[in-house]
Structure 1
Amino acid sequence: MFKNNRGFTLIEMLIVLMIISVLIILFIPNLSDRSGDVHGTGCDALISLVQSQVELYELEEGSKPGTIQALVDNEYITPDQTECSNGNTLSIDNGMSLPINMKSQRGFTFVELLLVLSILSILLLLHVPLNISGLQKHQSEQFLETFQYDVLFIQHLATTTTDDKRVYIKFHNESYEMIHGRKTMKTRYYPDGWEVDPRVMKEISFKSTGTIRQPGRIKMTSKHSTYFVVFPLGKGRGYIVEE
């Protein structure tokens, strides 16, 4: 047997992606907190500046400004000094400079995108096994259908051949062969995870009349099911029973 030099499977890639996403989600908030501290410091400084201009306005104008726009109109502050770097807009309430929390008009943050990505990864991890299970079931059905066609083909050759060469199917650990005389016509390998127990019937062959030479049953086991291929005595046709 040769080593299978394949790359990562889809499930393995999704698991790695999910782990990386979780680690980044745990790490990014620390950076976000530091960034928030910087913005907060900048906003505090701006509030102190505007508050000092409010007091100067009251001193020079004789009354407190009703709105922060009054400070702008009278050139005590510039228009860009009405908003903090974190998006909060300043206002004046009874002579006090206060920030108003405003929703930032932005797209999704990196953390939010990673969170969504992690959720999608988890959903895919739950969905992929279902698809794999369905694929394995389809492969099993296809193998059994092919096997039945091979049995019918061998039976047909047994009833139509004019030479003395025997036609039969011989079972091995990993495959079965369709043999005519000493010549192997076809070798078919079992699907991944399948086991065939040939102890009762090591081969399938038919008489010239089309009836089975050696009645019995063959046990075939997949990852999810067990099948018995049954050939009754004196019958020309076998059948498959799923346990």
Structure 2
Amino acid sequence: MSQWTTNNHFEWKSSSRSSLIKLESEKGFTLIESLIVLSMFLLIVSLSVLMIQPKMQSLDENMFFTKFKADILFAQQYALANQTYVNVFIPQGSHRYMLADGYTMILDHEFSERYSIIERTMPRTFQFHPNGNINMFGYFYVQTDNSKYKVMFQIGRGRFYVTEE
């Protein structure tokens, strides 16, 4: 039995010695290898950030026009529901639009400086009548950093749409 224990002990020592030899022969990554991996990681991250930027601008434009359309429809619905005139003001040089019922401000919305309103056949001030009709028709442009959008108000019931030019 002592021989078996000796052999067992010998085998244990032998396996422990081989693992120690194995650890001594393995070395970690060099500084250059670590820097190469880090630079590849930073390159991938920076490329993904650059690819996200146009998507963020597109989402911002969609959000702006969704809010603008909702506010114009709100002005029309407010005029119908309250049987009153609702004025829409887009002041020159400011980045905001306002809705008013006579002298009472209903809504005042500021928007990003990325957007500018270019007046064409539709003036910057127009009005919804108590029956929901608009007092004039025409269009104006909304200029962004990369795009130009046409906001067209149709004659009659105050319908409007936005198209990219």
Larger radius of gyration: 1
- Partner residue in 2 for 1:210: 132
Are 1:157 and 2:106 an aligned pair? no
Offset, 1:216: 1.0
Q: Deviations over 1:36-65 (max 9, x none)?
A: xxxxxxxxxxxxxxxxxxxxxxxxxxxxxx
- Partner residue in 1 for 2:3: none
Offset, 1:151: 0.8
Are 1:242 and 2:136 an aligned pair? no
One of 214, 229, 236 as aligned partner of 2:151: 229
Q: Deviations over 1:18-53 (max 9, x none)?
A: xxxxxxxxxxxxxxxxxxxxxxxxxxxxxxxxxxxx
Q: Deviations over 1:107-157 (max 9, x none)?
A: 222222222222222222222122121122112111111111111111112
State whether residues 95 and 113 of structure 2, in contact with CA within 8 Å, keep that contact through their aligned partners in structure 1: no
Are 1:171 and 2:90 an aligned pair? yes
- Report sequence identity in percent: 27
Q: Which runs of 5+ in 2 are unaligned?
A: 1-23
Are 1:201 and 2:120 an aligned pair? no
DSSP-derived class of the 1:155 partner: helix
Larger proportion of strand: 2
- Partner residue in 2 for 1:74: none
Q: Which amino acid aligns with 1:211?
A: N
Q: Deviations over 1:84-122 (max 9, x none)?
A: xxx8xxxxxxxxxxxxxxxx6222222222222222222
Q: Which amino acid aligns with 2:37?
A: V
One of 132, 145, 148 as aligned partner of 2:66: 145
User: After TM superposition, what 4+ stretches of structure 1 lie above 4 angstroms from structure 2?
Assistant: none
> Take 1:194 and 1:118, find their aligned partners in 2: how far apart are those partners?
37
One of 29, 32, 36 as aligned partner of 1:111: 32
- Partner residue in 1 for 2:14: none
One of 44, 52, 57 as aligned partner of 1:136: 57
- Using a 3 Å threshold, how does the CA distance of structure 1 residues 123 and 146 change in structure 2: closer, same or farther? same
TM-score (norm 2): 0.74
- Using a 3 Å threshold, how does the CA distance of structure 1 residues 108 and 185 change in structure 2: closer, same or farther? farther
> Take 1:204 and 1:160, find their aligned partners in 2: how far apart are those partners?
18
Comparing 135-144 with 193-202, which one deviates more in the overlay?
Answer: 193-202
Offset, 1:237: 0.8
* Equivalent pairs, count: 139
State whether residues 158 and 167 of structure 1, in contact with CA within 8 Å, keep that contact through their aligned partners in structure 2: yes
Q: Which runs of 5+ in 1 are unaligned?
A: 1-86, 88-103
Offset, 1:241: 0.8
